[in-house]
Amino acid sequence: MKESEISKLLQRYLKAEEEGVEPYFDVDEIDCLLDNFEETETYTHYKGVLTLGMKLYPLNTEFKVRECKYHLFMENYDKASSLANSLGLTNNPDLDLVRLECFCEKNQYKEIIRYVKDLTDNQCGYLQDIYESVSQMLCDYDMVEEAEDFIKRGLSLFPKSYILRDEICFIMETEGEYERAIKLCSELIDENPYSYDLWYLLGRLYSMTANYEKAIEAFDFALTCDDSDSELKILKAYCLFMNENYLKAIDLYNEIVTDKEIGNRINSLLASCYIKLDDFEKAYELLKDIIVQETESIDATTLVNFIHCCMKTDHEQEAFQMLLKAVNLFPENIRVLALLALSYLDRGNEEMALTITNRIIKQLDIISQEHDFLDTSPLTKQEKYIPIKDLTKEYLSNRDNNN
């Protein structure tokens, strides 16, 4: 049914409700309204229309099944489960999925396996749909280990299932099995070359393996499918940055239409590009705007980059004041402490420089040997990269000169 016709049905229902009269709808009209509510996930009038349908057609089992699904939508899992079981219907995929989702919500994976085994033993004709739907449910409920086990069971029965292979590909990504995920994702793309989600996933996977050329290529294909996702563009620009295509990264960042929150992220990333191009004035102005707007929620990377720009643009006093603020905000951040030690050294205060250096050494002792000290702040992957190597070289050079 066309959207305009569904709208007319809804208006007829609302008008009758407002007038306090009971309208008449045939079964198909009520089904269309309920389908539309489910597709748009708008349940304001779902219960009312469903109640009307059950009153007009009390023997209609489909409406009873929809009542189970409604309780599921409303997260009344016990009610949904008990009602589904009371109906006593078999070979009904909607009811099976209601019961299985209730098991998911209660983290009862063994019950899921038992239930699906019964369906298999009874030669269920829609078993592949069950495996595909439940695998997605398990992922939605963050039951990743269970999802992986369940998908493998499903693939043993339905090895060509696109949905099951797609789901296992995302699980491989979360578990860091990037090479395996790339291989499988590429196979899925061969079958569905116009999938935005798959190209986006492939680009992410390549970026995680530092294959930025391949990542950029995959993102380009994704953008031909859908060019509206700002996050994809941000990630592509990051890959351009990591591939030292700073001007292209700048162009792409400037194309992204953002709100205030994303805009500050973009400006921070833009500043990193300008720093790599030695355009410290532009970087300084961008970072200054961010710091003025986000005095309380500023992150360590933005502050470090801003301080570095201050040092490069004859704003030494501003750099020192910002350093003191940064130390108060991030007292254990290695980058901030290193810059402060350098600043004290530049000012001839060797005693304070030594004190801060000792703090750095103690902090490094705390950090696991397996982790790079640049990753001590809870930053996103795109935000982590800053010209810290340049700052370290500058620090060591100044230290040697003072010695």
Q: Per residue in 216-252, pLDDT tens? A: 999 999 999 998 888 999 999 999 999 999 999 999 9
Residue 50's nearest CA partner among 20, 80, 70 is 70
Q: What is the pLDDT of residue 395?
A: 38
DSSP type of residue 211: -
Residue 53 within any structural domain of the chain: yes
CB 67 within 8 A of CB 58: no
Residue 21 within any structural domain of the chain: yes
Residue 54 within any structural domain of the chain: yes
Q: Other C-beta atoms within 10 Å of 229: how many?
A: 16
CB 239 within 8 A of CB 212: yes
C-alpha–C-alpha distance, residues 124 and 97, integer Å: 13
End-to-end CA distance of the chain: 82
HSE of 49, CA atoms in CB hemisphere, 13 A: 29
297 falls in which pLDDT band (50, 70, 90)?
confident
Q: Is the pLDDT of residue 291 over 80?
A: yes
Q: Is the pLDDT of residue 174 over 70?
A: yes
Residue 35 within any structural domain of the chain: yes
C-alpha–C-alpha distance, residues 60 and 38, integer Å: 19
Residue 12 within any structural domain of the chain: yes
Structural domain that includes position 30: 1-59
Q: Is the pLDDT of residue 167 over 60?
A: yes
Give the pLDDT mean for 316-339.
87
Residue 49 within any structural domain of the chain: yes
Residue 68's nearest CA partner among 108, 95, 47 is 95
Structure tokens at 147: 């999802």
Q: Is the pLDDT of residue 366 over 50?
A: yes
Q: Is the pLDDT of residue 74 over 50?
A: yes
Q: What is the pLDDT of residue 278?
A: 95
Q: What is the pLDDT of residue 261?
A: 67
365 falls in which pLDDT band (50, 70, 90)?
confident
DSSP type of residue 371: S
Q: Is the pLDDT of residue 47 over 90?
A: yes
Q: Other C-beta atoms within 10 Å of 42: how many?
A: 10
377 falls in which pLDDT band (50, 70, 90)?
very low
Q: Is the pLDDT of residue 260 over 80?
A: no
Share of the chain above pLDDT 90, in %: 58
Share of the chain above pLDDT 70, in %: 89
148 falls in which pLDDT band (50, 70, 90)?
very high
Q: Other C-beta atoms within 10 Å of 276: how many?
A: 17
Residue 262 within any structural domain of the chain: no
Residue 402 within any structural domain of the chain: no
C-alpha–C-alpha distance, residues 321 and 298, integer Å: 15
State how many domains the chain has: 1
